[in-house]
Amino acid sequence: MPQSAEKVLDHAPLFREPEYRQMLAEKKINFECPHPDQIVTDQREFTKSWEYREKNLARQALVVNPAKACQPLGAVFAAAGFERTMSFVHGSQGCVAYYRSHLSRHFKEPSSAVSSSMTEDAAVFGGLKNMIDGLANTYKLYDPKMIAVSTTCMAEVIGDDLHGFIENARTEGSVPHDFDVPFAHTPAFVGSHVDGYDSMVKGVLEHFWKGKERAEVAGNINIIPGFDGFCVGNNRELKRLLDLMGVSYTFIQDASDQYDTPSDGEYRMYDGGTKIEDVKAALNAEATISLQHYNTRKTLEYCEEVGQATASFHYPLGVQATDEFLMKVSQICGKEIPEAIRLERGRLVDAMADSQSWLHGKKYAIYGDPDFVYAMARFIMETGGEPTHCLATNGNSAWEAELKDLLASSPYGKDAQVWAGKDLWAMRSLLFTEPVDLLIGNSYGKYLERDTGTPLIRLMFPIFDRHHHHRFPLMGYQGGLRALTTILDKIFDKLDRETSETGVTDFSYDLTR
């Protein structure tokens, strides 16, 4: 037997045992109705061709492995960034299990969220009773300071009215009349997780700001980080920079502590997050700055409606992007950028120069959220690399045009191609027909790496098969240094594999580079 009390195997070696190999082979023959091996091989080779690429990129009615998630995931993440807030998803339990597992597998932390547990009867008669009972249970069992309500496909298809349902639940005594229950409609069948994030953050701000009189505090700013799998490292790094500048700021939706709780014997269902009183006071800020424009379009529009100045960036990573962010903060707040930060900038520039010979001319394929792809393409060009393929499944025509303008501004971007709305199966065709040196994205790219041989650099949410990347920043000058080192490590690892055979591929005792 391959598995016993004395010999416990993980799934990877377990399925290589003879018994399992035989079982899987028989399953394929008896139940999968397989085509002959030659036909499979021929078809596989055809899918690597330019002819298949044209057919693949022309697809409209089918999506294969999109590089995005659905709206409610973004709403659940957004809710985690507020003080003692429980995310309440009006929909089925299975949907919420997906959001929780997706976040917890990336952050290696518990991700709390509850469901109204809608089933077939709620799909027919509506989910009001589920909302009444669910809010009551959430309030009594989990002792939150706020419950943030979002929706799934089922609730949106049948047209459940969240505002009306929540008010009915208050009337029924599920929660006190003065208890905070912001909400956002987040239909999972349109948009993506960045839209769900945007709707929930806007919903929270609108809940606390609507009808309130604004008294502007000059020089005070709000920072909205956007949906960010690296929020633990990024938020802390950005706070460090702002503190060095002496800026008065409020981080709106700060999930850094929630997804990095210590192991000290105490379980924290809630940790950190933007304090409710700070959210209320944030109405009076002079300006709201978004670190990811395409994550916060509705929210920024609302901030403008209440009278705030706004500015947005595309994930400030690298030299120029960080420069622009810090200079904008300096302009609004009237604070000088201190010498300590200038020195950090110079060190990043020096590191890039030190490694220029290994980075210059390298070709990259980048995929992920629109702001991340924009930022990474910009950073790659700063290193002398060429962002050959830039793909965002949730990118729109405005993003495509903006990124093309960026790429056209540098000789390193002149041959780059921008792919808005395309998926990772399309990326596979691009990698086979126009190969690159490196692929930058999330864990799902490992199958592209295996298939096409393109080395994968994991710098985008979600990262399931590596640990603790999210604890280190990508934003700011220190984040740029981290990204630079990660890219260089992959380049040198590849070189080591290609020069590992003494006297055949390794002639120079290659130790110093």
Burial-class residue 243 by CB neighbours within 10 Å (0-12, 13-18, 19+).
exposed
CB of 364 closer than 8 Å to CB of 387:
yes
And the tokens for 96? Answer: 């919420």
CB of 235 closer than 8 Å to CB of 254:
yes
Within 333-475, strands assigned E span: 363-367, 386-392, 417-420, 438-441, 456-458
CB environment 176-204: b (16+ within 10 A), e (fewer) = eeeebbbbbbbbbeebbbbbbbbbbbbbb
List 40, 64, 157, 190, catalytic entry? 157
Is 157 a residue of the active site? Answer: yes
* Helix axes of 424-433 and 50-57: crossing angle, nearest 10 degrees: 150
Identify the bridge partners of residue 113 per DSSP, sorted by sequence position: 87
Distance CA 99, CA 72 (A): 8
Tell me how crowded residue 121 is: count the other CB atoms within 10 A of its CB: 11
List 76, 95, 149, 153, catalytic entry? 153
And the tokens for 264? Answer: 């000290």
Question: Among residues 187, 118, 117, which one has the least CA distance to residue 152?
Answer: 187
Is 89 a residue of the active site? Answer: no
CB of 377 closer than 8 Å to CB of 413:
yes
User: Which backbone phi and psi does 148 adopt, to 5 degrees?
Assistant: -105, 115
Cα 216 to its chain centre, rounded Å, is 32
CB of 373 closer than 8 Å to CB of 367:
yes
Distance CA 91, CA 157 (A): 11
Q: Is 417 helix (H, G, I), strand (E, B) or coil?
A: strand
CB of 90 closer than 8 Å to CB of 160:
yes
Distances (CA, A) of 288 to 225, 233, 300, 301: 11, 21, 7, 10
* Helix axes of 476-498 and 231-245: crossing angle, nearest 10 degrees: 140
Q: Which residues are catalytic?
A: 153, 157
